Amino acid sequence: MDLKQKQELLKLLRAELKDGFLGEEPSGENRLWAEVKREALVRAAELLLQAGGRYQVGIGYDARKSGKGFALIHSFAFDRDGLIAAIRAFAPAEDPEFDSLTPIIPGAGWSEREYQDLLGLRFKNLSNGKRLVLSDDWPEGIYPLRADIPYDLMPPSAEEVAFRLEQAPPGTTVIPFGPFHASLHEPAHFSVFVDGENIKGCEYRGFMVHRGIEKLAQTELTYNDIPFLAERICGICGSVHSVNYAQAVEAASGLKISRRAEFIRVVLLELERLHSHLLWLGVAGHLIGYDTVFMQAWRIREKIMWLAESLTGNRKTYGMVIIGGVRRDITSDQAENIKRVLGEVEKEMLQLEKAIIKDKTIQRRMRGVGYLSREEAIRWNLVGPVARARGLALDSRKDHPYAAYDELVFDVPVVEDGDVWGTMVVRIKEVYEAIRIIRQCLDKMPADRPLALELEGPIPPGKQGLSVVEAPRGEAVHYVLTGDGQQPERWRVRAPTYPNLQAVPAMLLDNKLADFPIIVGSIDPCISCTDRVLVVELRSNSKRLLKKEELESISRKMRPGK
Amino acid sequence: MWLWTKIKQLTLFRKAGRVTLKYPFEPRPAPEGFRGQPLWDHTKCLGCAGCANHCPARTIFLRDLCQELRVLLYDSSRCTYCGRCADLCPEKAITMSDKYELATDNREDITQTIELFMMTCQRCGRCYDMEIKNYLDRLQTLGYRYDSLQVRKVIRLSTAEFQPEWLEKTSTYSRPERLEK
Amino acid sequence: MKAAVVTLNLLYFLALAPLFEGVMRKLTARIQSRQGPPVYQPYLDLAKLIGKDNFNSAGNWVFRLAPLLAFSSVLAALSLLPVAGRASWFSGASDLMTLIYLLTLSGFSLLLGALASGNAFSAVGASREMMTIVMLEPVLAMSLILGAVKSGSFSLAAALSGIGGTKGVSYFLMLSVYLLALQAFVSRQPFDIPEAEVEILEGPYLEYSGPNYALFRYTLNLKRMFYSWLLAAGFLNFFGSPGLILSLVLQTAVILVVCVVVSVIGATHPRFRIDQALKYYAVLVLLALVAVGFGVKGF
């Protein structure tokens, strides 16, 4: 949190952009909210990139109510200085056009395509202008994130509409992985182009589990209802999203929660990391055909689920986080129980690790598979264990400390392997680090109160807050713009799988088809985290029973080989 | 070396044995502090609608039937067992039980209804300022269709502000054709 | 009498093949700290599958023919087998080449079925199955040919007794090759590449359901039992030819032991990729050739 860096950046922006730079919104020392003119947005992004920033996410919202048109924010993280800089530009409502960042930052493509679909913004020089988020039979001209569109709009659905996928390069056939496939947890479509057993390319079509979470939060729910919704964004990293949202609102409104509440949040987050990594270990074993590793890893994980149930009341949706703190305390009995369970888990994990780390057959399936070099990892803005396996020392707990992490001592494992085996080693080491962190928390937790702050007045509208949390899969970013009516005006969730998925086609090139599941599995895809914004599209309420021959003929017509 | 790792893997199950529980043939009680189905205590409930106002799933309803009767309906279809209602109740009338075996084919089994006889205001003779403070009436002003207690489907007419003519103006109002390859 | 023996042998195979699958599933589950299904579960599975609607999802007659062809060719192969060391009723009209052809026919009908499915995943599974058959059938053929070389006749009973006859270098080499290939013959981890895949969703069997699928699974179980039987009645036949019942009991015991070993190896290995497996098979084929060479030379 170097104040100097923030001042230097401001000086740089002012000098280079001249009258393109409109001002800065005052905030804490580790956030920079700069306002620029629409035409200067790309130049500002370029400057921040050259100054060492890492692109995080693009955020757009409908600001027509206040007369400003449409807003677009791009946020950059400066990891060595613990600073996050966000540049915002407005476009008038009658001409919502921006310049695309994709020529300099290819990873910005998804954010821009998302707002193209959801807000109706237009981007010049956007490299891939296809629909990202909305389904293909959604009517044109209806942009769900705009304030005048209701959250439960149900336009008439259509059959016989398909996403226009890329043509397979000559000499290859298309193998469709998805939307239903045994190796994917959630629906997603990977159209893999193979030549025999070698993968020559891949195209991804996702956002099939789009549930309308951000819109729901902006219209129907109030500040304290949203952590319960955020928890259900993902079935594995639930408290990550609820803590992240709570931190963003607390940052926006300037609330300072008690130290004990921060420690309890850290315990919940690390417990979640433990169970998530054990889950991943099992799934990775299953994807290479090794079911014994799957069963044993999940057997160890079950102990953590029981621990969470006795601590929070539920195995997975902890429901412990609200704005201002946490809902339950950790008593000394519970602390003893936690230590006992952690001891057992550590012992069994050591046993499991010794059994699989030197196994030549597992190494033959995972070494050299899904190789991506360090430069490519930087180019695609990878985060999380996927990046740490390629030599990038990125961890939001160290770079942008939040909750109680500034007081805790732990290591961040980084390896240079660059393949799927590296991600496995990183995740196994993180399990031990997580156990170490929880033990420290239980010892260092202060006894101050209150666990949940009583707010004196309503949260003021118009304030921005951005928070990052290290999810088990990487860095998750939440942005909140407070609004009136005790609701956020805009809440943007960027899960860590968002940038990681964009790198999967690069990881798949020149690997064998049999390695497809383990490569996709190595980024630990949490596709429910990745697609959240906007309205669920329900079919119309009419029902009709299809006869057997009709069903047969429809399914035969829809066959991908045709 | 290879053989040794295989033997180690083979013996991973030795200490743990068989971990399959005999549930449902043996009961499995929930731990203490488990958030199961919320149970209302009708002797303590005031009818303040605190639980109804703060339920994130909007599954608790309050309605004035007539001058003296207020009905609280816990329609558990969307309940997420978060426990906010129990936290907020000023009279501690709600407890989160440890019941988790709640699957049924009849909604009545898990619904709870409380009918509260209310005192009347001595000045104006009505329950109290229910048109504004009553959560359900507030819902109705926004368009929730909840006419009677028998009709459980609460469908919010948020499309009340949306003009269907906008759909006609869009370029793909007619059912879209299959996009050409 | 001889017809009754053949029928008895067929019934023996048909009745016990799902049981061995059940034993393998139970043992795998126990290694994974689970309870596992009861040992008779595969019978219930087959009964359930047969009771379902026979759905022709590919719409052509080859799709319907393939499982029938696979099942019937395996049954035909089984009826040729000598029982308790005595040649079967069909030995006048068949020899070990017929056996090999019938087994290969069964494998090919799986390929036919996979390619008739018209599904991209089935096509990938079919190509993997094809590569596996091309590399593995020579190992089976050479085991039997070694026996034929040693005993001097191509008849099946003679070949079987010839394999286990003189225990020289060729015998031990062939035995080790066969044991190393056994895991691939019975299609268990690490070699269950063509079928039962997370990657290609069961590959060749993807489009099959109901009675068609029941026939394919039964074929697979019978083939597994056959390969274990070959080990018991060929390589490990230490008891000569005792009475009918006794030899059946001994065979069952040996097959059970083989099932246990196969399950243990299957539960402790991930699945290999097809290119890794092919390198492994190539080495096995070479070693089998060397073993036959030794056998010809009289070792």
Q: Would residue A551 count as lying in a domain?
A: no
Q: Which residues of chain B have pLDDT under 50?
A: 129-132, 140-147, 151-160, 172-173, 175-181
Type of residue numbered B42: H
Within an 8 Å CB–CB cutoff, is residue C120 touching chain A? Answer: yes
Question: CATH code at A45?
Answer: 3.30.460.80
Mean pLDDT of A140-158: 82
Q: Would residue A485 count as lying in a domain?
A: no
Mean pLDDT of A201-222: 85
Q: Which of C261, C104, C241 has its CA nearest to residue C178?
A: C261
- A33-47, A446-460, B9-23, C91-105: least confident range: B9-23
Residues 6+ apart with CB under 8 A from B7: none
* DSSP 8-state code for residue A134: S
Determine what percent of chain A is predicted with pLDDT higher than 90: 36
Sheet holding B112-117, edge to edge: B60-64, B69-74, B112-117
Q: How confident is the model at residue A263 (pLDDT cuts 50, 70, 90)?
A: very high
Q: Would residue A489 count as lying in a domain?
A: no
- Alpha carbons A554 and A546: distance in angstroms, whole number: 10
A488-494 and B112-117: which strand pairing?
unpaired
- Alpha carbons B76 and A494: distance in angstroms, whole number: 32
Domain spans, chain C = 2-296
Chain centroid, CA C264 distance in Å: 18
Whether the predicted pLDDT of A493 surpasses 80: yes
The pLDDT tens digits for C9-24 are 889 999 999 999 999 9
Mean pLDDT of C31-50: 92
- A261-270, A416-425, A531-540, B43-52: least confident range: A531-540
Mean pLDDT of A310-329: 91
Within an 8 Å CB–CB cutoff, is residue A305 touching chain B? Answer: no
B46, A396 contact by CB (below 8 A): no
Angle at A182 between CA C274 and CA A160, to 5 degrees: 115
> What's the confidence (pLDDT) of residue A74?
93
Count of pairs with CB atoms under 8 A, one residue in B, one in C: 22
- Alpha carbons C80 and C89: distance in angstroms, whole number: 8
Q: Would residue B3 count as lying in a domain?
A: no
Q: How many CB atoms lie within 10 A of CB B22?
A: 9
Q: What is the pTM of this model?
A: 0.87
A31-36 and A83-91: which strand pairing?
parallel
Count of pairs with CB atoms under 8 A, one residue in A, one in B: 119
Q: Would residue A210 count as lying in a domain?
A: no
Any chains having at least 3 CB pairs less than 8 A from chain C are A, B
C236, C27 contact by CB (below 8 A): no
Residues A9 and A136 in one domain: yes
Answer whether B175 sits within 8 Å of A299, measured CB to CB: no
Q: Domain containing A85: what range?
A: 3-196
Within an 8 Å CB–CB cutoff, is residue B13 touching chain A? Answer: yes
Answer whether C32 sits within 8 Å of A291, measured CB to CB: yes
Residue C103 burial (C-beta neighbours within 10 Å; 0-12, 13-18, 19+) = buried
Whether the predicted pLDDT of A382 surpasses 60: yes
Q: How many CB atoms lie within 10 A of CB A211?
A: 17
Whether the predicted pLDDT of C143 surpasses 80: yes
- Alpha carbons C104 and C111: distance in angstroms, whole number: 11
Tokens of B117: 């006889």
Round the average pLDDT of chain A to a whole number and report it.
Answer: 85
Determine what percent of chain A is predicted with pLDDT higher than 70: 91
> What's the confidence (pLDDT) of residue A436?
95
- Alpha carbons A271 and A313: distance in angstroms, whole number: 14
Q: Which residue has the higher pLDDT, A515 or A335?
A: A335
Angle at A286 between CA C277 and CA A434, to 5 degrees: 130
Contacts of A515 in chain C (CB under 8 A): 273
Contacts of B173 in chain A (CB under 8 A): 139
Whether the predicted pLDDT of C160 surpasses 90: no
Residues A162 and A277 in one domain: no
Q: Which of A391, A379, A399, A398 has its CA nearest to residue A79?
A: A399
Q: For residue A168, what is the nearest residue in chain B, using CA coordinates?
A: B181
Residues A50 and A175 in one domain: yes
The pLDDT tens digits for C265-277 are 888 888 888 888 8
Q: How many CB atoms lie within 10 A of CB A29?
A: 12
Question: CATH code at A413?
Answer: 1.10.645.10
Whether the predicted pLDDT of C53 surpasses 90: no
- Alpha carbons A118 and A111: distance in angstroms, whole number: 10
Q: What is the largest CA-CA distance in chain A?
A: 72
Q: Which of C295, C76, C281, C44 has its CA nearest to residue C172?
A: C295
Angle at B172 between CA B168 and CA B175, to 5 degrees: 100
The pLDDT tens digits for A95-141 are 889 999 988 888 888 889 889 889 989 898 887 778 888 887 788 88
* DSSP 8-state code for residue C232: I
Domain count for chain A, please give it. 2
Answer whether C31 sits within 8 Å of B10, measured CB to CB: yes
Q: Would residue A212 count as lying in a domain?
A: no
Contacts of B6 in chain C (CB under 8 A): 268-269
Question: CATH code at B36?
Answer: 3.30.70
Mean pLDDT of C242-258: 85
Q: How confident is the model at residue C215 (pLDDT cuts 50, 70, 90)?
A: very high
Q: Which of A523, A496, A171, A193 has its CA nearest to residue A369?
A: A523
Whether the predicted pLDDT of C193 surpasses 90: no
Whether the predicted pLDDT of A302 surpasses 90: yes
> What's the confidence (pLDDT) of residue A3?
58
Q: Which of C33, B131, C57, C42 has its CA nearest to residue A553?
A: C57
Q: Would residue B177 count as lying in a domain?
A: no
Give residues 362 to 381 of A whose Cβ lies within 8 Å of B.
none
Q: Would residue B132 count as lying in a domain?
A: yes
A83-91 and A97-99: which strand pairing?
unpaired
- Alpha carbons C273 and C270: distance in angstroms, whole number: 10
The DSSP secondary structure of C100-132, one letter per residue, reads HHHHHHHHHHHHHHHHHHT-HHHHHHHHHHHHH
- Alpha carbons B79 and C275: distance in angstroms, whole number: 52
Which residue numbers of A have CB closer than 8 Å to C's CBs?
A: 173-176, 181-183, 194, 196-197, 285-296, 299, 361-362, 364-365, 512-517, 552, 555-556, 559-561
> What's the confidence (pLDDT) of residue C151?
84
Contacts of B20 in chain C (CB under 8 A): 34-35
Torsion of CA C181, C182, C184, C189, to 10 degrees: -120
Residues A185 and A262 in one domain: no
The pLDDT tens digits for B40-88 are 988 888 888 888 888 888 888 887 777 677 888 888 888 999 999 999 8
C287, C141 contact by CB (below 8 A): no
Whether the predicted pLDDT of C213 surpasses 60: yes
Q: Which residue has the higher pLDDT, B142 or C160?
A: C160
> What's the confidence (pLDDT) of residue C154?
84
Domain count for chain B, please give it. 1
Contacts of B138 in chain A (CB under 8 A): none
> What's the confidence (pLDDT) of residue B46?
81
- A267-281, A539-553, B64-78, C277-291: least confident range: A539-553
Within an 8 Å CB–CB cutoff, is residue B132 touching chain C? Answer: no
Mean pLDDT of A461-482: 92
Give the closest of B10, B12, B17 to C264, CB-based: B10
Q: How many CB atoms lie within 10 A of CB A5?
A: 20
Q: Which of A559, A530, A510 has its CA nearest to residue A202?
A: A510
Within an 8 Å CB–CB cutoff, is residue C123 touching chain B? Answer: no
Any chains having at least 3 CB pairs less than 8 A from chain A are B, C
> What's the confidence (pLDDT) of residue B11?
77
Determine what percent of chain C is predicted with pLDDT higher than 90: 30
Q: How confident is the model at residue A546 (pLDDT cuts 50, 70, 90)?
A: very low
Between the CA of residue A105 and those of A56, A121, A183, A205, what are the distances in Å? Answer: 10, 18, 31, 20
